Structure 1
Amino acid sequence: MKFLKLLICLLLAVQGLAQPHGKDSNFVSRHRPGFFWYNTGWRPAKVGKLRKYDRLILDVTYNQLMMSGSVKQHTARSFGCNVNTMWDIPITNGNTVSLGIGLAYKFQKTGPKGLFFRDTSARYTHFYADSGYTDYRKNTFGNHMLAIPVEFRFRTPRWQHFKVHVGASVGYRLQTFQKLWEENKHRPIKDKDLPDVNGLVYGVHLRVGIRNLALFADYTLAPQFKSSNSSKINSLAFGLSLSIF
């Protein structure tokens, strides 16, 4: 809750810096929004061209493993990021409703208080909270993923607009890893060969914010492991989104 309150305060504090004031809210801008407000590419923007938004989005996330029973985590080791390159396709004349589609890279890392182990057959993976293996001082668990997000975008017509993005994504899990730092050793042991990892990734997400900044939530519906014999794990990510342009 403290982290969520901090994000809300940050959003309210800096949203006023997202763009210049004093513009007619119905004026069709010749410039592109965001940090690259005056960047129009190789050629000047056409007069009357609709503004487009949220084409490069960075998400900073706190990640939580979801399974039956609570999973305690080290907060400082449970942060990740997403990089989204998107097309903004207007549906209405004023671009108050649009379709976003693109390509996203997702890095989700967590610091669970427990370890993942192979079973005796080396075919399935199980999570043991607070396991008896105590010869390590810290551990992390994470995923690298590529996904295709598709989202419906709703905006108010004003220059400094309020926005809601409702979307879903499907993609591929590039790598799943577990890192262990043993006592008195500086280099971690990295395990990238946990069995039964589900390569297919799909989920739903939501952004709610003002202009360049938004609160973000993403729930991965696809289980981390394929078999019912492995631990049943999904993931939840929430944080702050920044639209570069």
Structure 2
Amino acid sequence: MKYHLFVSIFFLMSFVCCFAQEEHINEEVDSLYKEDQFYAGVTYNLLGKKPANVSQSGFSLGFHLGFIKDMPINKNRNIAIGLGLGYSANSFNQNLLINKDNGGVTYSVLESSSTYTKNKFSSHLIELPIEFRWRTSTATDYNFWRIYMGFKLGYVLTHTTKYKGDLGKIRYSDIEAFNDFQYGLTLSAGYNTWNVFLYYALNPIFSSDARLNGNKMDMNAVKIGLMFYIL
């Protein structure tokens, strides 16, 4: 239900973005213009540095919304620093079962013979994006090329693990299994409305105490998708 809401918001913002430039035609030229201060995106979420036998299944989605204050740093205003605040919801469908045993958290890989219809973990984050921005925009040209490189720090508000299968229904919220902070490198590049977006996490999803077969899990998040910007 939550994801249906996120999808609706995403497509609404995409629609607004497609027509936002037309509204500027009747505006006066602003020599102190700023660009791309609101964003909305959707990503396909991947797991990097997976342990042996851990694999993904299904479609793992991420939805991203936020505001970035655009601060041009040159006379032409086509180079800027962006500092913002955003919200992100992400899910990862995979075959790593997260359970509890005697009060502790356990991790195991579901066997190929196991029957289950759902096994995933998800998270909701507040994020602080920082970007170095280059673009070909002018005070009167709203269709332009852009390359935005940056760093994003996220604080996990809540996380959930869900399993449904031959072991029954297993669900946990906010267990001590995940890192509270996530941070990584970002890249947005494209023309006008359509922009490819990449995120590569620099730290693991799980805490240092998480062990699979006695080995530390260094799995990180890799996100690939589309980002839309609105003035």
Distance 1:136 1:142 in 2: 17
- Superposed displacement of residue 93, structure 1: 1.7
Question: Could you say which residue in structure 2 is the equivalent of 1:176?
Answer: 159
Q: TM-score, normalised by structure 2?
A: 0.76
Distance 2:106 2:34 in 1: 45
- Superposed displacement of residue 228, structure 1: 4.9
1:145 to 121, 125, 141: 125
Distance 2:189 2:159 in 1: 29
Question: Could you say which residue in structure 2 is the equivalent of 1:35?
Answer: 19
- Superposed displacement of residue 220, structure 1: 1.6
- Superposed displacement of residue 177, structure 1: 1.0
| 1:8-55 deviations in Å (ceiling 9; x for gaps) | xxxxxxxxxx9xxxxxxxxxxxxxx86334668xxx966433332211
Corresponding position: 1:84 with 2:70? no
- Percent identity of paired positions between Structure 1 and Structure 2: 28
Higher mean C-alpha displacement, 218-227 vs 90-99:
218-227
Corresponding position: 1:107 with 2:93? no
Distance 2:77 2:53 in 1: 43
Distance 1:36 1:138 in 2: 40
- The answer to whether the Cα contact below 8 Å between 2:99 and 2:170 also exists between their aligned partners in 1 is no
Which residue identity lines up with residue 114 of structure 1 in the other structure? L
Question: Could you say which residue in structure 2 is the equivalent of 1:155?
Answer: 135
Question: Counterparts in 2 of 1:119-134, with a 5 A limit?
Answer: 122=104, 124-126=105-107, 128-131=108-111, 134=114
Higher mean C-alpha displacement, 227-236 vs 113-122:
113-122
Structure 1: give runs of 5+ residues left out of the alignment. 1-17, 19-32
Corresponding position: 1:212 with 2:196? no
Distance 1:105 1:70 in 2: 32
Question: Counterparts in 2 of 1:179-190, with a 5 A limit?
Answer: 179-182=162-165, 189-190=170-171
CA gap of 1:48–1:194, structure 2 versus 1, over 3 A, is closer
Distance 2:43 2:176 in 1: 26
- After TM superposition, the runs of 4+ consecutive aligned structure 1 residues lying more than 4 A away are 44-47, 118-121
Question: Counterparts in 2 of 1:58-77, with a 5 A limit?
Answer: 58-66=40-48, 67-69=50-52, 71-76=54-59
Distance 1:118 1:181 in 2: 15
Distance 1:167 1:70 in 2: 33
| 1:114-158 deviations in Å (ceiling 9; x for gaps) | 312346661x553x3334894632222111111111000011246
Distance 2:133 2:106 in 1: 38
Which residue identity lines up with residue 149 of structure 1 in the other structure? P
Distance 2:42 2:174 in 1: 27
CA gap of 1:71–1:194, structure 2 versus 1, over 3 A, is same
- Superposed displacement of residue 202, structure 1: 1.2
Question: Could you say which residue in structure 2 is the equivalent of 1:116?
Answer: 98
